[in-house]
């Protein structure tokens, strides 16, 4: 398909878009790391676009899995705020285990988006569901970082209650922006 398109157009048609994410340029750009084993040809570009589609479908599926994990972690976290004694220890272990799982699925989801081969052409500059999704990604990625940093600080801090409140606010912001990003992509 792409090969046929390239045959019918002039030879100056580029196989890559003008603008790419820096991660895409590093790996998939004209002189990217993948070009040593995967030269930039119409046939290889067609294969890359199929790989891109698979990676973005995986990105979507893992996004839903991550959102479900965030809900579970939020429910356990809310119970943890009111728990004491032995039950608090059990809930903390469950909350931390869910946190590890959410971090793993979140990171894998981000990887699938950031390192996918670039599209064939750039999208226009209008506001779209994809653009909103990307803006929200900046918010929820910042929130994930803040949530994890604050979680690591809580245990040994004399200001535990203040850090817990900040941790909860960061987690809710992350969940809300992540959920909105999932919804935005569906419209």
3-class DSSP state of 148 = helix
pLDDT score, position 114: 96
Confidence of residue 12 (pLDDT cuts 50, 70, 90): very low
- Residue at 7 is within a domain: no
The DSSP code for 130 is: H
Which structure tokens are listed for 148? 């994890």
CA 139 to chain centre: 11
Q: How many domains, in total, are found in the chain?
A: 1
Q: Model-level pTM?
A: 0.86
At 106 the pLDDT is 98
Q: Is residue 15 part of a domain?
A: no
129: in domain: yes
**pLDDT average, residue stretch 79-105:** 92
Q: What's the pLDDT score for residue 43?
A: 95
Percent above pLDDT 90 for the chain: 74
Tens of pLDDT, residues 16-57: 998 999 999 999 999 999 999 989 999 999 999 999 999 999
The answer as to whether 160 is a domain residue is yes
Q: CA-CA distance, 102 to 68, in Å (whole number)?
A: 9
Rounded to whole angstroms, how far apart are CA atoms 93 and 138? 29
* Cα gap 50→141, rounded to integer Å: 27
1 lies in a domain? no
Give the range of the structural domain holding residue 151, as residue numbers without chain letter. Answer: 21-185
| Contact assessment for residue 62 and residue 105, using Cβ atoms and an 8 Å cutoff | yes
Q: CB within 8 A of 24, min separation 6: which ones? A: 32, 114, 115, 116, 117, 118
- Whether 4 is covered by a domain: the verdict is no
User: CA triplet 135, 118, 107: central angle to 5 degrees?
Assistant: 55
pLDDT of 162-185, one tens digit each?
Answer: 999 999 999 999 999 999 999 998
Rounded average pLDDT over 85-99: 92
Place of tokens 């893992």: 62
* Residue found by looking up tokens 């959410």 in the block: 102
Q: Can you read off the two tokens belonging to residue 2?
A: 């792409």
Spatial separation of the C-alpha atoms in residues 68 and 170, rounded to whole Å: 17
- State the Cα angle at 83 between 78 and 86, rounded to 5°: 135
**Residues 115-139: tens digit of each pLDDT:** 999 998 877 788 999 999 999 999 9
- The verdict on residue 6 lying in a domain is no
Whether pLDDT at 160 is above 80: yes
Which residues have CB under 8 Å from 94's CB, separation 6+? 76
Nearest-CA neighbor of 40 among 19, 14, 74? 14
Q: Which residue has the tokens 């196989």?
A: 15
């Amino acid at each position: 398909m792409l090969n046929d398109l390239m045959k019918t157009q002039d030879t100056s048609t580029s196989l890559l878009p003008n603008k790419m994410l820096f991660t895409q340029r590093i790996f998939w750009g004209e002189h990217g790391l993948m070009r040593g084993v995967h030269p930039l040809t119409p046939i290889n570009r067609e294969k890359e676009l199929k790989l891109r589609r698979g990676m973005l479908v995986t990105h979507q599926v893992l996004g839903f899995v991550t959102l479900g994990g965030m809900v579970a972690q939020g429910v356990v976290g809310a119970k943890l705020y009111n728990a004491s004694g032995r039950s608090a220890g059990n809930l903390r272990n469950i909350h931390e285990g869910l946190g590890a799982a959410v971090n793993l699925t979140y990171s894998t989801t981000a990887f699938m988006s950031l390192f996918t081969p670039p599209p064939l052409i750039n999208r226009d500059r209008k506001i779209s569901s994809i653009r909103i999704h990307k803006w929200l990604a900046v918010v929820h990625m910042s929130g994930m970082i803040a949530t994890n940093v604050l979680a690591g600080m809580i245990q040994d801090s004399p200001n535990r209650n203040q850090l817990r409140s900040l941790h909860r606010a960061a987690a809710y912001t992350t969940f809300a922006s992540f959920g909105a990003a999932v919804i935005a992509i569906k419209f």
